[in-house]
Amino acid sequence: MHLEYGINLEQTQKLALTPELRQAIAILQLGTAELAQYVENEVLENPLLETQDNETADGVNSKEDNARIDWITYLAEDDQLDPAWRDQLPVDREQPERSSWDSYVSEVPDLSEHLTLQLHLALSDLHLIQIGEFLIGNLDEQGYLQMNLEETCQICRCSLDDAEVVLRLIQSFDPPGVGGRSLSECLLIQLEQRGLRDTVMEQLIGRHLDDLAGGKLSQIAKDLGITDQDVQSRAALIRSLDPKPGRNFSRPGETRYIVPDVVIERIDDEYVVLVNDALVPRLVINKTYRNLLKKRDACDPDTIQFIEAKLKSALWLIRGVEQRRTTLYRVVSLITQFQREFLDQGVSRLKGLTLRQVAEAAGIHESTVSRAAANKYVQTPRGVFNLKYFFRRGVECDFTGEIVASEVVKRILKELVVVEDPAHPYSDQELCKLIEDRGLHIARRTVAKYRQELDILPARRRQRPC
């Protein structure tokens, strides 16, 4: 085999991510609070960048506004500016009226709101929903039920069986252990959701919690007929459970806020999309360096080179922030169109929607939609949601021809399990058939997948004697 050196010319095509493009991608993925911090850091690094407060941006400080030079116009008319840079200048547009970010903040849902949302996803029967809302309203801040079921039946005018069915449903919600009437029941609920509940754990939690706290492991082992090592392993498992499942949620009077990146408001019969950029400072070019660019002949060449490099960086940052705003607006506007029925009627009308559908409608790449939806929250008339909440796989309904979101299928699945006969629970195949009777065709393995995602045990483990 003969080897030799040589020089060959080849022409190839490949996609290269420039630093500017990387910056634009990073900016697109940031939430509002993170973007504000990112912009502030860039201002500290780049002397050509300055921020304006709301008063200056709104024209309150008229004296400074009269003295301000339109730097975009100046740069566009500068014959010595690199033409490639001139093409990157943002289009001058009238600044909209800026409002305080306080008008956009939304309080984090408390435990009651968190559970009520799950209740409406799981049930469609209004009477059962009323019972559930009453039970949720009688949970304390730690997630424990403070009302016995007999009193619930009297107040809600329902049967004890209905009250027990709804309570059992609430006890399957997130956070695990919620709805317990005692510490023992709270812990057993969490074990059951993990599939770790057995007779020994029931006896250990029901009779020996005080002994466990006192370290009487040998006594417990002797009483339960197990080894000391088994008691230790079970004690470690119990310590991993949460005795106060509701403590991580906000409480009445407690200030815990998230700032939505986008707001959808209903005005008459239309929905209006507003990008919340009130926290992000408005960027301008420093006046001193603008004047230096005018007098480039009198400046040191190295100084001019430094200013031009920083100017290019500043323009890319301004452009990236503007592109983020535009892309986010387009994506949320399309989501609003696709999910109009959800906004009108609630979660039961949530449609299946994919990133590709929005990308094709917007004329952008699917990955761009994914980045635009990342780490973003949207405030709607139905509440505050993570933007990716609206992207759901779905199945076609034979009756309406619409694509129904998987969340709706899960709601139907959970409702069927709630009303099933505990002595003869539905198998996955039976659940599949019952869902098909509602016009939704899904595979048995899909039913099993959704059941696992909902923390619903298999039929043999849901079976309870009458």
pLDDT tens for 147-168 read 889 888 988 889 999 999 999 9
Q: Indicate whether 328 pLDDT > 90.
A: yes
Answer with the residue of higher pLDDT: 326 or 59: 326
Query: Distance (Å, rounded) from C-alpha 403 to C-alpha 245?
Result: 36
**Residue pLDDT, tens place only, 378-393:** 998 888 888 888 886 6
Residue 272, strand partner residues: 265
337: helix, strand or coil = helix
**Percent of the chain scoring above 90 in pLDDT:** 13
pLDDT digits (tens, 9 = 90+) for 189-219: 988 888 888 888 888 888 888 888 777 888 8
- How many other CB atoms are found less than 10 A from the CB of residue 174? 12
62 — pLDDT class (breaks 50, 70, 90): very low
Q: What sign has the CA pseudo-torsion 53, 56, 57, 60?
A: positive
Looking at residue 54, its pLDDT comes to: 47
pLDDT band at 265 (very low <50, low <70, confident <90, very high): very high
Determine the residue type at 65.
Answer: D
| pLDDT band for position 323 (cuts 50, 70, 90) | very high
pLDDT level of residue 109 (50, 70, 90 thresholds): low
**Of residues 54 and 457, more confidently modeled:** 457
* Range in 111-115, 129-133, 155-159, 330-334 the model is least confident about: 111-115
- What is the reported pLDDT for 73? 54
The stretches of 364-443 forming alpha helices (DSSP H) are 366-373, 406-418, 428-436
pLDDT of residue 118: 86
Specify the pLDDT at position 78.
Answer: 52
The boundaries of every CATH 1.10.10.60 domain in the chain are: 393-462
Q: What is the mean pLDDT of residues 402-428?
A: 78
Nearest to 362 by CA among 385, 388, 336, 394: 336
Question: What percent of the residues of the chain are helix, what percent strand, and what percent coil, each to the nearest 5?
Answer: 55, 10, 35
Q: CA 213, CA 187: separation in Å to the nearest integer? A: 15
Whose CA is closest to 426, among 457, 394, 395?
Answer: 457
The pLDDT-based confidence of 87 (bands split at 50, 70, 90) is low
Q: Is the pLDDT of residue 20 over 80?
A: no
> Residue 331 above 90 pLDDT?
yes
CATH homologous superfamily for the domain 393-462: Homeodomain-like (1.10.10.60)
DSSP classification of residue 101: G
- Amino acid (one-letter) located at 216: K
Least confident of 22-31, 119-128, 265-274, 294-303: 294-303
Residue 65: the pLDDT is: 45
Q: How confident is the model at residue 404 (pLDDT cuts 50, 70, 90)?
A: low
Residue with more model confidence, 176 or 58? 176
180 in Cβ contact with 189 (< 8 Å): yes
Gyration radius of the chain over CA positions: 30
Residue type, 285: I
